[in-house]
């Protein structure tokens, strides 16, 4: 079976590469990913100066003409989220004032996404506030990957293309020749994501971990709904932050007799003490993540496998530039 990435590369080779009006620039949050995307598109990431004044204020200058061009700004708003978000908005403003035809913010990881609704009185909804800020800064379009909840796509009053990292994870897992797979959601809120992932894994069976959260970044797993004994359990989530949820889930799966436990997530946030939890001996056979967020070298451990989403993002960028369908990539 042809993999997702092979398929999009084939289509790209057949396309007529008219990139004269396509410009790609990288912020400082993940330049390595931007270079991979540029390589896929057959262009170079454009010259840009981003520096700080003595008081911490940011300065951005685009160093080539972008008049009348389609400009794509690669900037995941990961930690330090406030600095990276502000840098992105300043980049947008610079492009707007340089007469770009269309500005697309490519946000592989969308920060502030977890506060997507009010769960108690007097709370802010920062996912919506961030969308408002980006629109106000002058963004014409957003390309995001694995938003924490699908409703965030509707927070933008401009086109927002929402793509998924799951095909990259599925391609890798399919090559591992795994038997007796059960896809596990670490909580009830992730059931739709896990169900979709299980369908891509040749309609694998599904299990759910019933979890109670006592505070932010603090969770307690209680029980597994579904059969996991003697099976390869694939825990799927959109992100791993401190690792509390996914590690508690893995411990429970081991107790319930799962033969192998593999963690999958698009966004490796890896806030302390994630490294200590994830690298615990015998807990995970593999921890699969993408390069949507750069991972510090001191957070690497033997079970960690980082998969690139550069080709997928590059294909989405090309389709937006060519005004063709992005959603058809996932059919």
Say if residue 243 is in the same domain as residue 171. yes
Could you tell me if 198 and 147 are in contact, meaning their C-beta atoms sit under 8 angstroms apart?
no
What does the alpha-carbon distance between residue 4 and residue 330 come to, in Å, rounded to a whole number?
8
Say if residue 134 is in the same domain as residue 12. yes
Q: Helices in the chain by DSSP H: which ranges?
A: 4-14, 31-41, 81-97, 126-137, 166-174, 191-200, 244-255, 274-278, 310-321
pLDDT value of residue 4: 58
Give residue 2's pLDDT band: very low, low, confident or very high (50, 70, 90).
very low
pLDDT in tens, 61-100: 999 999 999 999 999 999 999 999 999 999 999 999 999 9
Q: Which of 17-31, 63-77, 229-243, 283-297 has the lowest mean pLDDT?
A: 17-31
Say if residue 156 is in the same domain as residue 246. no
- Of 192, 230, 232, the closest CA to residue 208 belongs to 192
Say if residue 140 is in the same domain as residue 196. no
Give residue 11's pLDDT band: very low, low, confident or very high (50, 70, 90).
low
pLDDT in tens, 212-269: 666 666 656 579 999 999 999 999 999 999 999 999 999 999 999 999 999 999 999 9
Q: What is the CATH number for 303?
A: 3.40.50.2020
Which tokens hold the place of 329?
A: 């990539």
Total domains present in the chain: 2
Could you tell me if 73 and 30 are in contact, meaning their C-beta atoms sit under 8 angstroms apart?
no
pLDDT in tens, 138-147: 999 999 999 9
Say if residue 28 is in the same domain as residue 156. yes
Could you tell me if 76 and 109 are in contact, meaning their C-beta atoms sit under 8 angstroms apart?
yes
Mean of the pLDDT values across residues 18-42? Answer: 94
Say if residue 181 is in the same domain as residue 159. no
Say if residue 231 is in the same domain as residue 216. yes
Could you tell me if 275 and 299 are in contact, meaning their C-beta atoms sit under 8 angstroms apart?
yes
The boundaries of the domain holding residue 136 are 4-165+310-330
What does the alpha-carbon distance between residue 312 and residue 168 come to, in Å, rounded to a whole number?
8
Mean of the pLDDT values across residues 123-148? Answer: 98
**Which residue in the block uniquely carries the two structure tokens 């009348």?**
68
pLDDT value of residue 217: 63
Say if residue 221 is in the same domain as residue 284. yes
Say if residue 221 is in the same domain as residue 288. yes
Say if residue 144 is in the same domain as residue 211. no
pLDDT value of residue 331: 74
Say if residue 255 is in the same domain as residue 325. no
Q: Return the percentage of the chain with pLDDT > 90, whole number.
A: 87
Could you tell me if 169 and 234 are in contact, meaning their C-beta atoms sit under 8 angstroms apart?
no
pLDDT value of residue 20: 82
Say if residue 228 is in the same domain as residue 291. yes
Q: Is the pLDDT of residue 118 over 60?
A: yes
Active site residues: 211
- Of 252, 312, 304, 254, the closest CA to residue 274 belongs to 304
pLDDT value of residue 121: 95
Backbone phi and psi for residue 72, each to the nearest 5 degrees, phi listed first: -120, 120
């Amino acid at each position: 079976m042809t993999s997702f990435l092979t398929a999009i590369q084939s289509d790209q080779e057949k396309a007529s590469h008219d990139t004269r009006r396509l410009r790609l620039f990288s912020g400082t949050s993940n330049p390595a990913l931007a270079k991979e995307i540029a390589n896929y598109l057959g262009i170079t990431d454009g010259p840009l100066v981003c520096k700080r004044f003595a008081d911490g204020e940011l300065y951005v200058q685009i160093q080539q003409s972008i008049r009348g061009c389609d400009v794509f700004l690669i900037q995941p708003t990961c930690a330090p989220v406030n600095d990276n978000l502000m840098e992105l908005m300043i980049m947008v403003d610079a492009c707007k004032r340089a007469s770009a035809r269309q500005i697309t913010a490519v946000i592989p990881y969308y920060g502030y996404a977890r506060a997507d609704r009010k769960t108690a009185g007097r709370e802010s909804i920062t996912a919506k506030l961030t969308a408002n800020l980006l629109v106000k800064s002058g963004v014409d379009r957003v390309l995001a990957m694995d938003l924490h909840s699908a409703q965030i796509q509707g927070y933008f009053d401009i086109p927002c293309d929402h793509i998924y990292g799951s095909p990259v994870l599925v391609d890798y897992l399919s090559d591992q020749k795994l038997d007796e797979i059960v896809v596990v959601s670490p909580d009830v809120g992730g059931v739709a994501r896990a169900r979709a992932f299980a369908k891509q894994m040749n309609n694998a069976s599904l299990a759910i971990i019933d979890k109670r959260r006592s505070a932010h970044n603090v969770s307690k797993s209680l029980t597994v709904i579904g059969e996991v004994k003697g099976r390869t359990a694939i825990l799927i989530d959109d992100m791993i932050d401190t690792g509390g949820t996914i590690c508690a889930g893995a411990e429970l799966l081991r107790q319930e007799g799962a033969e192998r436990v593999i963690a999958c997530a698009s966004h490796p946030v890896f806030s302390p003490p994630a490294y200590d939890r994830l690298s615990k001996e015998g807990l995970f056979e593999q921890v699969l993540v993408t390069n949507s967020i750069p991972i510090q070298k001191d957070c690497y451990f033997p079970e960690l496998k980082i998969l690139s989403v550069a080709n997928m993002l590059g294909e989405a960028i090309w389709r937006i530039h060519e005004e063709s369908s992005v959603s058809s990539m996932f059919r």
